[in-house]
Each structure stands twice: as structure tokens, then as C-alpha cells.
């Protein structure tokens, strides 16, 4: 499996076992891809729906701006992630999809989705996947609402580590995270300055280091405790849980 779609398929394959034919259908659907530069908007609020983006490489985010420029990042889409299939039904988008790091994306339309929906296995995998993404959104609300700055940051890092591990985007206890501190702030509802101070604290505690777009986790077990991270919302299977060191 060397096509650009392999991380996407791998992510979905967590929720179903695909036949060769289904596998092929997914590859076909995402065959036509497009390269996007940072800051490109894949869609903006108010745009019509009917399009569904799959991120094959790079990093994309969902976000929303307030009138005065305050911004909340709603979700990250890493390589292998896709937007929610239900967006095909929405008549106009309520949020924007913005490229954070040069990306390769595929765009599914209603008709290509209809083809995929002929395989109940695929439909179900997508629904389960989207359901997990929704659970992540709920956890983000808890994070932003009720955790302290260092808990927020630690919790996000734990989550991203596990999500990226699932598609082979980590090595040892490290992964690439091409975000500025300001973007982390817009994610966690903290000022960039405070993100900076909090990162230094986590580094001082020898829990995790974030420098040059690299996150290095020095002590996952301790970070997990410090952040109050409970991975159950990620709907992992036993096998994955076991693979991650420092997991309950």
C-alpha cells in the first residue's frame, strides 16, 4: 500500500476490515489530489456544502473567527484524517477549513460518496471514525472549559501522540507538530505568551519538549497523570493501548 491514501485507509481500517474491492474503491475515490499551501482556505464559513476533504499529507484545521479576530481552532486534520461525511448534507458551512502546513488533500463529492456508500462496510467505518472525532471534540470542550493551562497543553499532546501513532506518524516518543505557539493558543484558548510559559514549565518538569516543530515526550506516564488524560474517549482497541508505553 504505497498510494497517498494509505494513512486514510489505515485510519478507517481501525473500524472495519476492508476487502480488496473496498480498498480499491477508497483509493479510487481519493485518487485525484491537490497540493495546498499553508494558509489556503479549503472552505470558508458560508460556503456551500457538498464537498468533503480528506487530508493525505500535511496538516489542516477547522476553525472559527469572531468578528474582532479572536479565533478558536475546532479540530486538527492530520494525514489520514477526513472531515465529517455529514457535511455533505449541510447547505452552508459554519466554519472554515484552513491549511496549516503544506498539504495534499483529496476532495470527495456527493457522487463519489454515493459510490463508496454502496459498500456498507465503508459507510460504517466512516461513521465510527466520525463518531470518534466527535468524541475528540467533546473532550476539547472539557479541555478548554475546565482544565488549567498546563493540563490543557499536556492533554492535547497526549491525544495527538496517540492519534499520530495510529497512522505511523511517530517515532519513539516523538512526533512532528508544525504549529506555532499562537496556533496552540487558538486551540487551547490561551494567549500565545501563556502557551510559551506553560511549555517551558512542562519542559522544566521533564515531561515534554516542543521545539522546532518537534514534540518529544520524555515521560508519557507522568504527563498522562499531570494532564488527567484518560484515553477511553479515543475508542482504542486493546492492541493499541498495549503498544503505547505508560498506558493503564
Partner DNA sequence: CGAGCCCTTGAAACTCGTCAATGATCGTGG
Partner DNA sequence: CCACGATCATTGACGAGTTTCAAGGGCTCG
Q: What is the arrangement of strands in the sheet containing 170-171, beginning at the earlier edge strand? A: 170-171, 174-176, 214-217, 208-211
Q: How far is the CB of 224 from DNA (least distance, A)?
A: 19
Per CB under 7 A, which of residues 25..64 are in contact with DNA?
Answer: none
Cβ closest to a second copy, residue 46 vs residue 212: 46
Picked from DNA, a second copy, none, the partner binding residue 20 (CB below 5 to 8 A depending on kind) is none
Region label for 26, one of left (φ > 0), alpha (ψ between -120 and 50) or beta (otherwise): alpha
Tell me which stretch binds a second copy (CB under 8 A): 97-105, 160-168, 203-211, 231-239.
231-239
Among 102, 178, 228, 246, binds a second copy (CB under 8 A): 228
Region label for 213, one of left (φ > 0), alpha (ψ between -120 and 50) or beta (otherwise): left
Q: Which of 126, 131, 168, 167 is nearest to 25 (CA)?
A: 126
Residue 217 binds DNA, judged by CB under 7 A: no
Residue 140 binds a second copy, judged by CB under 8 A: yes
Q: How far is the CB of 36 from DNA (least distance, A)?
A: 16
What is the size of the binding site for a second copy (CB under 8 A)? 42
d(CA 135, CA 99): 23
Q: Which residues, in sequence order, are CB contacts of 129 under 8 Å at separation 6+?
A: 11, 12, 14, 15, 82
DSSP structural state of residue 210: E
d(CA 70, CA 8): 32
Find out whether 103 and 53 touch, Cβ atoms under 8 Å: no
Among 212, 237, 238, 248, binds DNA (CB under 7 A): 212
Residue 70 binds a second copy, judged by CB under 8 A: yes
Q: How far is the CB of 188 from DNA (least distance, A)?
A: 8
Residue 110 binds a second copy, judged by CB under 8 A: no
Residue 146 binds a second copy, judged by CB under 8 A: yes
Per CB under 8 A, which of residues 185..214 are in contact with a second copy?
Answer: 188-189
Cβ closest to a second copy, residue 6 vs residue 95: 95
Amino acid at each position: 500500500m504505497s498510494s497517498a491514501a494509505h494513512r486514510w485507509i489505515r485510519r478507517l481500517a481501525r473500524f472495519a476490515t476492508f476487502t480488496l474491492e473496498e480498498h480499491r474503491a477508497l483509493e479510487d475515490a481519493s485518487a485525484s489530489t491537490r497540493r495546498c499551501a499553508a494558509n489556503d482556505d479549503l472552505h470558508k464559513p458560508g460556503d456551500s456544502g457538498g464537498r468533503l476533504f480528506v487530508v493525505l499529507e500535511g496538516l489542516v484545521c477547522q476553525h472559527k473567527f469572531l468578528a474582532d479576530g479572536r479565533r478558536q481552532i475546532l479540530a486538527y486534520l492530520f494525514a489520514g484524517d477526513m472531515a465529517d461525511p455529514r457535511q455533505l448534507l449541510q447547505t452552508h458551512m459554519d466554519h472554515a477549513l484552513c491549511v496549516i502546513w503544506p498539504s495534499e488533500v483529496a476532495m470527495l463529492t456527493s457522487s463519489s460518496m454515493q459510490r463508496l456508500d454502496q459498500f456498507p462496510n465503508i459507510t460504517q467505518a466512516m461513521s465510527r471514525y466520525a463518531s470518534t472525532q466527535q468524541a475528540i471534540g467533546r473532550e476539547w470542550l472539557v479541555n478548554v472549559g475546565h482544565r488549567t493551562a498546563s493540563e490543557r497543553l499536556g492533554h492535547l499532546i497526549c491525544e495527538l501522540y496517540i492519534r499520530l501513532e495510529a497512522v505511523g506518524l511517530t517515532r519513539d516518543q516523538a512526533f512532528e507538530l508544525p504549529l506555532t505557539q499562537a496556533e496552540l493558543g487558538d486551540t487551547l484558548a490561551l494567549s500565545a505568551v501563556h502557551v510559551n510559559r506553560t511549555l517551558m514549565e512542562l519542559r522544566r518538569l521533564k515531561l515534554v519538549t516542543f521545539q522546532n516543530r518537534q514534540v518529544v515526550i520524555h515521560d508519557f506516564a507522568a504527563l498522562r497523570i499531570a494532564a488527567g488524560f484518560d484515553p477511553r474517549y479515543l475508542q482504542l482497541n486493546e492492541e493499541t493501548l498495549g503498544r503505547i508505553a505508560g498506558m493503564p
